[in-house]
Amino acid sequence: MNKKDQGYSLLELMAVVLIIAIIAISTLPLLHEQMATREVDMIARRFIAHAQFARVQAFLLGTPVRITPLNGGLWEEGWVVKNICDSRQAKLSCIERHWISQGDLAQVYFKGGGKQFIDPHTSKRGILFNAAGAAKTAQGGFVANRLILGHDQNSGLERHLILGSGGRWRICDPSKDSKACK
């Protein structure tokens, strides 16, 4: 038996390693894109889950509950779900509760488009659910609105969080359903 026939040469092994490295490097951009998409989708689903929780709490407690940006700032800073005690309820010893607080959105941010759930009468950001679980403004008008999420590493990535008149949320991807996101 010849010694040459017993294995691979170093050159052949290096060629295989080089091919594997080229394939791995070429898939990295796709991997980063998928990770950014997952981050944005996760934040979108989490926000909607917290908004639905606020709606249910308003209905169950019979008192207004609000999901609002942390510290009255922008949505990028995070949000909090809390009940609202008005002057009438204070006499009945209404205890203000904060159930959920979400901060540090990493590389996900809220883009400028949409009305961002700003009450036209008070200019405050947030969604106020009345005792019946309906999203209303401070003056009682309905809040059909949207938030637009983006990602720092992928400027073309967007998700629209849309609240319909019936209280139903949906997540819209404008790159796939441009008509549905309008």
Tokens 């359903």 locate to 177
What's the pLDDT at 140?
A: 67
Low-confidence ranges of the chain (pLDDT < 70): 1-5, 86-95, 113-115, 137-144, 180, 182
What's the pLDDT at 144?
A: 64
What's the pLDDT at 16?
A: 93
Angle (nearest 5°) at CA 104 between 165 and 61: 45
What's the pLDDT at 19?
A: 94
What's the pLDDT at 4?
A: 57
What's the pLDDT at 14?
A: 92
DSSP β-bridge partners for residue 171: 161
Q: How many helices (H) and strands (E) does the chain have?
A: 2, 9
Q: Domains in the chain and their CATH numbers?
A: 32-172 (3.55.40.10)
Q: What is the pTM of this model?
A: 0.77
